[in-house]
Amino acid sequence: MAQTQKRTDRSDPVTARDEQLSALADNLVDLWKRVLRTDDITVDDDFFELGGNSLSAIRLLPVVEERFGVEPHISLVFDHPTPRQMAVALAAIGAAVDRHPQDARE
């Protein structure tokens, strides 16, 4: 009986997209921690339930732009209030993760 090996095929578009979304969400968690000044954030936490407001959303925009190379609108935060949701929206406008989270730290 032959054994089946499970492997991750990075050339699979679904796997590649999932990995990209996961990397985007993880990077967003890192940015949110800086902007919201808390370490207790997951990819499913809501920006506003964590204490975010319109002013902190405005502070988030330039760091998102710096990290991902896209110019987000303020509505991004209101319409996609979790890192997971925001990652999907950013991917749709061409955001890319090509740096490690610590590269953009001040």
Do the Cβ atoms of 100 and 45 come closer than 8 Å? no
| Cα(46)–Cα(2) distance, integer angstroms | 47
Q: How many domains does the chain have?
A: 1
Question: Does residue 106 sit within a domain?
Answer: no
In a domain, 29, yes or no: yes
Contact indicator for 81, 46 with CB cutoff of 8 Å? yes
Residue 23 lies in a domain: yes
pLDDT score of 19 more than 60? yes
Residue tagged 């968690």 (tokens): 29
**Matching residue, tokens 């609108």:** 73
Give the structural domain span for 88.
Answer: 14-100
Q: pLDDT tens, 33-85?
A: 999 999 999 999 999 999 999 999 999 999 999 999 999 999 999 999 999 99
The confidence score (pLDDT) of residue 10 equals: 55
